[in-house]
């Protein structure tokens, strides 16, 4: 029998607001343990939460971009459970009146466009972090992350393969990044996804028993977990066994999962409306204000790049994978007036550098003005492309100003024929065999001599001029 995999995703993203959701502590990742805390986010007796409205703004942006209906009187609930990383022993979350419902995202699959339903979007606070100290054999709590705002985006079970799930995740991530609501860094935990998986015989209309998979820390791991879980479930069915509804934990090293808790031990969170927070009245005016300030989304940018700047579908696609890339590209293209060159540098050197340094594109130091200057200098013939690449690296590594660097290091191309002629004469005199070879029709000799002159001139010779003059000299020799 052949089976169909049914997947739903619960994506948690940390919002990149400056302060936490219910207090004014900063949200910056890292920092000495327990330094970004106050009585509110550490749940001291008598402290009260006060909602950071920026969180609501960000949530509205996300709802608008995912076509969700926005709940006019949205409200927070308390989700009760005991755990040492949760200082109030309840998480302020949303159950009864989440901010958004009934949205969707369109993804491009091999079979064409597909609409993936968004069941709901809700706001909540993050918990702290437990750090085990193996020396003292004790567990320490860092409350810095407590109260960092989260959005949970719950999809409908509309995904049918690991590939689709990953396309959906990439699409969602790029939207969230372009909206400016989250940096979505899985390695820092600012994007986390739990996966619900079930299988059913192809053609069946009823859902199979689903399991929930947690603890995947990369998109790759999510894909592998889905494939492995679907296989595990199919194997059970084929063996005549039943699938238990349970939560499972993915073990990346073992490439397999194990059961964490079954449905029977599912916790009763005793949700109830948080009396400390009043309902939020999201007026049509508020929604319009957010809508009018909404950043341009990747699809629209891609279309613009193709139409206005004649980029290829591929180039435009890569340039819109991340807002930092798209923004740098657009600014550079505009400043230099050479969008094609800007695209070429972005797709080539810039992406290469990001890959080599294994960092997010926004972490690379590359001011648009510097890149635009560099592009202009190549076009003007001030430096050649090879020298420009070196300067590009200097900008990245040492934050140099390209013009100043060119001057300080005397990198201007030598396009003075007299200076070149002198050097050519020197090189020809020193390499008599090459002339013989050249005359014998060995074109390699020409290349060798160009290299020699270039080296002697520290790479600053205008290559075109050098070629002409050298050929001239050889023909006359």
Partner 1 sequence: MDIYTLSALELGHKIAGREISAPEATQAMLDRITATDQTVKAYLTVVPEQALAQAALIQQRLDNGEQLMPLAGVPMAIKDNISTKGLRTTCGSKMLWDYVPPYNATAADRLLAGGAVLLGKTNLDEFAMGNTTETSYGGITTNPWASDRVPGGSSGGSAAAVAAGEAVYALGSDTGGSIRQPASYCGVTGLKPTYGAVSRFGLVAYGSSLDQIGPLAKTAADCGAILAQIAGPDSKDSTAMPAGRNLDTTALLKSIEPGQSVKGLKIGIPAEYFGEGLQPEVRTAVEAAAAQLAELGATVEPCHLPLVEEGIATYYLIATAEASANLARYDGIQYGFRPTGQAYEDLADFYAQARTEGFGPEVRRRIMLGTFALSSGYYDAYYLKALKVRKLLQQGYREALSRFDLLIGPVAPTTAPKIGTTLSDPLQGYLADIYTVAANLTGLPGLSLPCGFDQIGLPIGVQLIGRAFDEATLVRTGVTYQEATGYHRQSPAL
Does residue 370 come out as left (phi exceeding 0), alpha (psi in the -120 to 50 range) or beta? alpha
Is there binding between residue 23 and Zn ion (CB under 5 A)? yes
Note whether 41 binds Zn ion by CB under 5 A.
Answer: yes
- Three-state DSSP class for 248? strand
Q: Which is nearer to Zn ion, 41 or 318 (CB)?
A: 41
Question: Which residue of 10, 19, 29, 38 would you call a contact of Zn ion, by CB under 5 A?
Answer: 38
Please identify, using beta-carbon distances, which residue of 260 and 351 lies nearer to partner 1.
Answer: 260
Q: Residues in contact with Zn ion, total (CB under 5 A)?
A: 5
87 binds, among Zn ion, partner 1, none (CB under 5 to 8 A by kind): partner 1
Task: For partner 1, give the closer residue by CB, 278 or 430.
Answer: 278
The residues facing 160 across adjacent strands are none
Residues 349, 355: contact at Cβ < 8 Å? no
Residue 465 interface partner, choices Zn ion, partner 1, none, CB cut-off 5-8 Å depending on type: none
CA of residue 437 relative to chain centroid, distance = 54
Which residues sit opposite 430 in a β-bridge? none
Closest to partner 1 by CB, 207 or 272: 272
CA dist 292 → 65, 81, 436 (Å):
12, 40, 73
Distance CA 452, CA 458 (A): 10
Residue 466 binding target from partner 1, Zn ion, none, CB below 5 to 8 Å by type: none
Q: How far is the CB of 144 from partner 1 (least distance, A)?
A: 14
DSSP letter, residue 56: H
| Closer by beta carbon to partner 1, 103 or else 128 | 128
Report how far residue 92's alpha carbon sits from residue 75's, in angstroms, rounded to the nearest whole number.
Answer: 10
Cβ 123 to partner 1, closest distance in Å?
Answer: 15
Look at residue 278 and give the partner it binds from partner 1, Zn ion, none, a contact being a CB closer than 5 to 8 Å depending on partner kind: partner 1
Task: Report d(CA 185, CA 33) in Å as an integer.
Answer: 20
Closer residue to partner 1 (CB): 79 or 460 = 79
Identify which of residues 23 and 457 has a Cβ nearer to Zn ion in the complex: 23
Least Å from the CB of residue 270 to partner 1: 4
Residues 6+ apart with CB under 8 A from 211: 196, 197, 198, 229, 233, 243, 244, 245, 246, 247, 248
Strand partners, 261: 247
Minimal distance in Å, beta carbon 76 to partner 1? 10
- For partner 1, the binding residues (CB under 8 A) are 39, 42-51, 78, 80, 82-84, 87-90, 141, 268, 270-272, 275-278
From the list Zn ion, partner 1, none, pick the one residue 41 interacts with, judged by a Cβ distance below 5 to 8 Å according to partner type.
Zn ion
Kindly tell me which of 130 and 425 has the beta carbon lying closer to partner 1.
130
Give the position of tokens 């590009």: 392
DSSP symbol at 260:
E
Q: Are 41 and 143 in contact (CB under 8 A)?
A: yes
Q: Smallest gap, in angstroms, from Cβ of residue 40 to Zn ion?
A: 5
- Asked if 181 contacts 153 with a C-beta cutoff of 8 angstroms, the reply is no
Give the three-class secondary structure for 181: coil
For the bound state, the minimum distance from the C-beta of residue 92 to Zn ion, rounded and expressed in Å, comes to 13
Lookup: tokens for 245: 């509804």
For the CB of residue 243, give the shortest distance to partner 1 in the complex, in Å: 24
Least separation, in Å, of the C-beta of 274 and partner 1?
A: 8
Residue 25: which of Zn ion, partner 1, none does it interact with, CB under 5 to 8 A by kind? Answer: Zn ion
Residue (71 or 144) nearer to Zn ion, CB = 144
Q: Which H helix or E strand runs over 129?
A: strand 129-133
Minimum distance from residue 262 beta carbon to partner 1 (Å)? 16
**Quick check: helix, strand or coil at residue 31?**
coil
Q: In whole angstroms, how far apart are CA 289 and each of 117, 132, 178? A: 26, 45, 18
Does residue 55 touch Zn ion according to CB under 5 A? Answer: no
Contacted entry of partner 1, Zn ion, none for residue 89, CB cut-off 5 to 8 Å set by kind: partner 1
Interface residues toward Zn ion, by CB under 5 A: 23, 25, 38, 40-41
């Amino acid at each position: 029998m052949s089976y169909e995999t049914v997947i739903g995703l619960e994506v948690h993203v940390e919002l990149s607001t400056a302060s936490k959701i219910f207090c004014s502590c900063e949200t910056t990742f890292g920092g000495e343990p327990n330094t970004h805390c106050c009585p509110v986010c550490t749940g001291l007796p008598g402290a009260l939460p006060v909602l950071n409205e920026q969180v609501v703004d960000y949530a509205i942006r996300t709802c608008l971009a995912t076509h969700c209906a926005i709940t006019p009187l949205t409200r927070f609930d308390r989700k009760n459970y005991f755990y040492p990383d949760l200082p109030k022993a309840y998480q302020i979350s949303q159950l009864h009146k989440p901010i958004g419902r009934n949205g969707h995202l369109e993804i491009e699959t091999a079979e064409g466009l597909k609409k993936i339903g968004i069941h709901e979007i809700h706001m909540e606070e993050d918990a702290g972090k437990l750090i085990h100290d193996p020396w003292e054999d004790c567990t320490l709590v860092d409350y810095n992350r407590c109260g960092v705002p989260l959005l949970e985006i719950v999809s409908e079970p509309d995904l049918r393969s690991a590939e689709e799930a990953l396309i959906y995740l990439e699409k969602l991530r790029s939207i969230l990044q372009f909206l400016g609501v989250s940096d979505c860094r899985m390695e820092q935990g600012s994007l986390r996804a739990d996966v619900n998986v079930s299988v059913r015989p192809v053609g069946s209309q009823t859902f199979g028993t689903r399991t929930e998979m947690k603890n995947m820390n990369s998109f790759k791991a999510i894909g592998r977990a889905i494939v492995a879980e679907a296989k595990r479930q199919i194997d059970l069915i084929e063996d005549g066994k039943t699938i238990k509804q349970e939560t499972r934990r993915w073990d990346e090293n073992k490439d397999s999962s194990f059961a964490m808790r079954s449905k029977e031990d599912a916790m009763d969170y005793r949700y109830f409306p948080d009396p400390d927070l009043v309902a939020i009245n999201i007026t049509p005016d508020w929604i319009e204000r957010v809508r009018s300030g909404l950043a341009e989304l990747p699809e629209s940018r891609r279309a613009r790049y193709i139409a206005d700047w004649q980029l290829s579908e591929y180039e435009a696609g890569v340039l819109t994978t991340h807002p930092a890339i798209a923004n740098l590209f657009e600014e550079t293209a505009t400043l230099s007036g050479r969008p094609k060159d800007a695209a070429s540098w972005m797709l080539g050197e810039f992406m290469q550098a990001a890959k080599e340094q294994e960092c997010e594109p926004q972490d690379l130091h590359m001011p648009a003005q510097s890149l635009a200057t560099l592009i202009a200098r190549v076009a003007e013939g001030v430096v050649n492309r090879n020298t420009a690449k070196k300067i590009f690296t200097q900008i990245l590594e040492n934050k140099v100003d390209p013009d100043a660097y060119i001057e300080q290091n005397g990198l201007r191309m030598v396009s003075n024929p007299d200076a070149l002629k002198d050097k050519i004469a020197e090189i020809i005199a020193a390499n008599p065999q090459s002339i013989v070879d050249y005359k014998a029709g060995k074109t390699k000799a020409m290349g060798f001599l160009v290299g020699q002159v270039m080296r002697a001139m520290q790479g600053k010779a205008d290559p075109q001029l050098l070629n002409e003059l050298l050929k001239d000299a050889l023909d006359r020799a």
